[in-house]
Amino acid sequence: MRRVIWFADLGREDVGLVGGKNASLGELIAHLGPSGVRVPDGFATTADAYREFLTTARLRERIAEQLDRLRTGTPLAEVGSAIRADVLGTPLPAALERELCDAYGHLARNARRTDPDVAVRSSATAEDLPQASFAGQQETFLNVRGREALLDACRRCFASLFTDRAIDYRERMGFDHLAVALSAGVQLMVRSDLGGAGVVFTLDTETGFPEVVLISAAWGLGETVVSGQVDPDEYVVFKPLLKDPGLNPVLRASIGPKRRKAVYAEQGLTRTVDTTPEERRRRVLDDAEVRTLAQWAVAIEEHYGCPMDIEWAKDGTHGELFIVQARPETVQSRRRGAVLRRYRLTGTGERLVDGIAVGEAVGAGPVCALASPVELDRFPTGAVLVTSITDPDWEPLMKRASAIVTDHGGRTSHAAIVSRELGVPAVVGTGRATGVLADWQEVTVSCAEGAEGHVYAGRIGFEESETDLGSLPETRTRVMLNLADPAAAFRWWQLPADGVGLARMEFMVAHQVRAHPMALVHPERLLPEDRRQIDALTEGYPDRTAYFVDRLAEGVAQIAASRWPNPVIVRTSDFKTNEYARLIGGRPFEPVEANPMIGWRGASRYYDERYREGFALECRALRKARDELGLTNVVVMIPFCRTPEEGDRVLAEMSRNGLTRGRNGLLVYVMAEIPSNIVLAERFAERFDGFSIGSNDLTQLTLGVDRDSDLLAHLFDESNQAVTRSIESLIATAHAAGRPVGLCGQRPSNDPEFTRFLVQAGIDSISVTPDSFAAVKQRVADAERE
């Protein structure tokens, strides 16, 4: 009988022998180690060794008797406790003890250490199969030293096959408890207690977007990330550009507070301590380390042929990175790819707390705040669970919740992982939910608004819709998306859109940056309160303008990545002066205008001495997204350009800031939203690569109707002949000059006749909001068939 096998002698075909976790470690060492993926050495006990253990002192029969009691009404907690006590009270077979100690001694000699510290992890033989996920249900023991401690940890791993949560899961999934065996994996510790650790997913965990690697990172041992005790750093890397060494495709790097870390305890095992203020401000990984982990993750995914859930660790003694676990991702892989399900709130309410959205659904119910899972009887089915963090002991209770809200944790925390599996909406890492949300208060938990989740007062109505993507027709006319929120861009990756026809930079500035760009260039002109807010926003940035560039480039890059390699047309900022003034620090830089709608906006700002330094920051951000991150599908679009000569001045200003039309494939479009754009279309076509019709402004300025006036609303009509003739004239002139024309207004979403008119006029593309995409795509196809 083979009771102990070295990882190097295992492969993924050995799941039945050593469980998914240990088989995967063997697979990594054998097949990916030669290409540079580092995995700590170790060995595993076999399923045969576990079954031999069950024959000791009739242990199998005693476990079966306890399980029979469960099915006749004995409480789960009582049955689980009795089984675990039986297992812990049964000595390991002498042969297994001998082989474990021999292997540990061999590991010590290879590592050139006496009594090396090891991790002892449970690996069930049915673990991580596509139809089930046992991850996190059994125990792991870190910093185990010496032979006696090793034997005790192995016995505790065997006992953890019968935790209450594991018994409950197998009962629900129909697994035979005694047909599932357990293997204990023994692996050299990576001294991440002195460095950092975390989790890698090879897709976006909430949307399933497959072209990114998501990395979470915290100081110390990785258990704080998995358990949700910390709010970790998060890095998003774009896979398609990873192979180009000249690019740095880190789409986003956000620094989490990381207030706690797990370290070695003096008497063995681990303890949790506070991090230092400096650790909380600092990134755990630099860009080079993020890139290495992402490349390893992609290599592992390609080898396995499926999305992966990976744990990594960084040794603080020498700075090297290691992979310590890898298993198939089990949530997104089960979803139906041809159907897009979406939720949308139909009402509004007071926003109580915000956090990280898990899933994309909406849940509502009365709040039930619990400090521990032992209060199971107090939790009614359908309530909203509010707590600080969760661990596997909470799972029976989590299944009964309509939604879950936690103070701590990131997208790879226990609460997030289990909520995804259960299909329960969750908002994690709120920081203050347990102090704000009161018991039995009715709330709505929304994860349907992008990466940030919100908890609202009261029960708010919502709609659920399904789109059969397989039934959408092909069209000659490109149907594109209007996107503004980078956090929501990945939600729509499954839509067969031809790119993004309008990405509004001002939305990104207002929500991702929040500060007026000139306030970052000239903080000396700010009021004291604005200066304090700017200092808080830009903490950690010696150069405040780099904060603007980084945050805006991240937003642009996320939207561009979501549609790669299709074009993503980013419109430079088009705030009106009153809107600019509402940004932090904006008031000293903006005049008060009688009619901002036709005032100092769009192109006229970019070369003006009062804003040109701000426009330079916009250009730097666009150049970073295109040239450093590599997202050359970004097309720049200039709004509200009144004359061809003004277009020349803007293009010259862009060139001075490193954005030259034609260089590195850069296309520059112009909005067609002023009658002069139509009348002088031939001259604008000499300067710009394409046109995008802004139907709201074009209608307003053609008919002389204030689009915000209730009194004149009956006169505001994009289908008025004066407007439609302008559109037809532009399309004909632009096409004669070899320039494409698109439209990015709302009218095609609401008016099938207007869509038919655009198709018949020969429009090249129509850009609509994602929730209108399927209907407009069908209308375009119908119009093309006529």
- Catalytic residue numbers? 414, 744
- What are the strands, taking DSSP E only, across 173-293? 182-188, 196-201, 212-219, 233-238, 250-254, 260-264, 270-274
Q: What is the DSSP string of 154-166?
A: HHHHHHGGG-HHH
The DSSP 8-state label assigned to residue 200 in this structure reads E
Q: Which amino acid, 617?
A: L
CA distance 572 to 606: 10
CB atoms within 10 A of CB 227: 20
State whether the Cα torsion 512-517-520-526 is positive or negative: negative
Q: Which amino acid, 125?
A: T
Residues with Cβ within 8 Å of 358's Cβ and at least 6 positions away in sequence, in order, are 205, 206, 404, 411, 415, 416, 419, 420, 425, 426, 427, 428, 447, 453
∠339-570-488 over CA atoms, to 5°?
Answer: 35
Question: Do 233 and 285 contact (CB within 8 A), yes or no?
Answer: yes
CA distance 333 to 131: 10
State whether the Cα torsion 354-360-366-371 is positive or negative: negative
Q: Which amino acid, 619?
A: C
Burial class (CB in 10 A: 0-12, 13-18, 19+), 61: exposed
Phi and psi at residue 687, in whole multiples of 5°?
-105, -25
Question: Do 658 and 664 contact (CB within 8 A), yes or no?
Answer: no
Question: Do 743 and 763 contact (CB within 8 A), yes or no?
Answer: yes
CA distance 567 to 713: 34
Q: Half-sphere exposure (CA, 13 Å, Cβ side) for 110?
A: 13
CB atoms within 10 A of CB 658: 16
Residues with Cβ within 8 Å of 703's Cβ and at least 6 positions away in sequence, in order, are 715, 716, 717, 720, 722, 723
